Amino acid sequence: MADLAGIVEGLEGRFGPLARPPVPLEGGITNRNYRVSLGEGDYVLRLPGKDTSLLGISREAERVANQTAARLGIAPAVRAAEERAILTEFMLCEPLDPDRLRAEPGQVAAALRAFHDSGVQLPARFWVPELLEQYAAIVAERGGSLPSAYADARLVADEISRALPLRDPVPSHNDLLPGNLIALLDGRVMLVDWEYAGMGHRLFDLGNLAVNNEFDEAAEERLLTAYFGAPPDTGRRAALKLMRIMSDAREAGWGVVQGVISELDFDFGAYATQHFERLRAAASDARFQEWLGAASA
């Protein structure tokens, strides 16, 4: 982890003296986040964990994505960024209520559509089959071993990628966990934690959002309608189902590689197992082959 005191000292020359000791913020598995008061401003300081580039993270892509999202009004503004840390504006907020999100996904759908259509080119690529290959190579290099479920996850991800190839990459967030969705006191919704941003499949963000926030089919219907501006057809419904599975393949692979590179006190093995099991259950659905056919039609 980067040196908190040294980074804060460097920031004081730009933003003013530290008004009070940094306050750790909850959340974050690969990073540590602090609320820092410098001069007359309040900020969030994110310190990346060790070897996070091995996870497919580009700090330059994170910076560009966060700045773009801030200009769109869907993320806090970036005040400073370097390889060791990123400083963003602190905004009074609360976690986005999951029931509210499932009932009314329109704000998040609009935010994602605006970012996807922003035209910004990020200096990183995000595609799950490629990430699974990279993660497997890293585990082997570090002397680790892959669980038996890993091979099945790669096969499923490859099947989905043939039905939904990455032909027209768009800038995407790629990490829409509940903790990365915040509600401001004025009711606006914002997206935070842009470290996995890259050029990816627009439907991955929708699947990632849906599976990580426990959308049922009615909520999926609302999400697709809000994002595309019209009720979805069979193909889009099927594509969302497949991208939910693709998201779990990524999360499971992420947990496996973190288990060999991370120094954090977190049960990455259990995290990987949880997502392997959810992937297996979804890919075993009797409709899986129908989804592949409908999505590729």
- Summarize pLDDT for 251-294 with one digit per residue, the tens: 999 999 999 998 778 899 999 999 999 999 999 999 999 999 99
pLDDT digits (tens, 9 = 90+) for 197-235: 999 999 999 999 999 999 999 999 999 999 999 999 999
Q: What is the pLDDT of residue 28?
A: 64
Asked whether the beta carbons of 196 and 175 are under 8 A apart, the reply is yes
Same domain, 121 and 139: yes
Same domain, 108 and 147: yes
Same domain, 98 and 17: no
The CATH number of whichever domain residue 273 belongs to comes to 3.90.1200.10
Last residue of a domain, one of 91, 126, 146: 91
Report the interhelical angle of 59-71 vs 106-116 (nearest 10°).
120
What is the DSSP-derived secondary structure letter of residue 97? P
Same domain, 20 and 161: no
Same domain, 73 and 109: no
| Banded pLDDT at 27 (limits 50, 70, 90) | low
Token pair 């089919």 in the structure block, residue? 217
- pTM for the model stands at 0.93
Q: What is the pLDDT of residue 135?
A: 97
Same domain, 212 and 135: yes
Same domain, 169 and 261: yes
C-alpha–C-alpha distance, residues 166 and 242, integer Å: 14
* Residue 2 predicted with pLDDT over 60: no
* Residue 1 predicted with pLDDT over 50: no
Same domain, 108 and 82: no
Token pair 């809000």 in the structure block, residue? 226
Look at the chain and count its residues: 297
Last residue of a domain, one of 91, 126, 142: 91
Q: What is the pLDDT of residue 130?
A: 98
C-alpha–C-alpha distance, residues 61 and 117, integer Å: 16
The CATH number of whichever domain residue 83 belongs to comes to 3.30.200.20
User: CA distances (Å), 128 to each of 104, 132, 208, 215, 279, in order?
Assistant: 28, 6, 12, 21, 14
C-alpha–C-alpha distance, residues 291 and 297, integer Å: 10
Instruction: Give percent of the chain above pLDDT 90.
Output: 85
Last residue of a domain, one of 49, 69, 91: 91
| Banded pLDDT at 95 (limits 50, 70, 90) | confident
Q: Which residues of 91-129 are buried (b: 16+ CB within 10 A; e: fewer)?
A: bebeebeeeebbeebebbbbbbbebbeeebebebebbbb
* Max Cα distance, the chain (Å): 61
Mean pLDDT score of the chain = 94
C-alpha–C-alpha distance, residues 47 and 14, integer Å: 18
Same domain, 114 and 239: yes
pLDDT digits (tens, 9 = 90+) for 153-190: 999 999 999 999 999 999 999 999 999 999 998 989 99
Query: How many domains, the chain?
Result: 2
Same domain, 133 and 216: yes
Same domain, 87 and 98: no
Residue range of the domain that includes 258: 94-296
Same domain, 29 and 151: no
* Residue 248 predicted with pLDDT over 80: yes
pLDDT digits (tens, 9 = 90+) for 35-63: 999 999 999 999 887 777 788 889 999 99
Q: What is the pLDDT of residue 49?
A: 73
Give every strand in the sheet of 41-48, ordered side by side: 23-25, 31-38, 41-48, 85-89, 78-82
The dihedral region occupied by 187, where left means phi > 0, alpha psi between -120 and 50, and beta the remainder, is left
